[in-house]
Structure 1
Amino acid sequence: MVAAIDSKNLGSISLHESFGFVESARMPEVAQKNGQLLTLVLMQKILT
C-alpha cells in the first residue's frame, strides 16, 4: 500500500508511521497547491 503525503504534513506522516508505513521516497517540488511547490513523501506498507 502506498501513501503520498505533503512533506509539511507532519501529523499525517506520524499517523502513517504509527500504522507501520515507512518512507520510501521524497520527490522535491513535484506538486503545486495554492501557488506553492510541494515536496511529496511516498510511504509504503507491505500487506501480508
Structure 2
Amino acid sequence: MKKEFVLTLWVLSFIAMVVLADPYKISFWISFGLFGYFSVYIEKHNKRFEHEDE
C-alpha cells in the first residue's frame, strides 16, 4: 500500500474511534481494530515508507 493511503486510513480510523467512543458499539471496535492494524502495519513497513519519499 502507498504511504499516503495508509496514513489517511490510520487518521480516519483514529477519528472514528474518538467520535464513536462508546465501547458497547460494534463500530467503535471496528475502528479500534483498524487503528491497531494500521499502527502495526506502519511500524512494520517503516523502512519502505522512508525510501518511498525518495
Q: Normalising by structure 2, what TM-score?
A: 0.27
* Higher strand proportion: 1
Compare relative contact order (CA 8 Å, sep 6+) and give the higher one, 1 or 2.
1
Larger radius of gyration: 2
* Higher helix proportion: 2
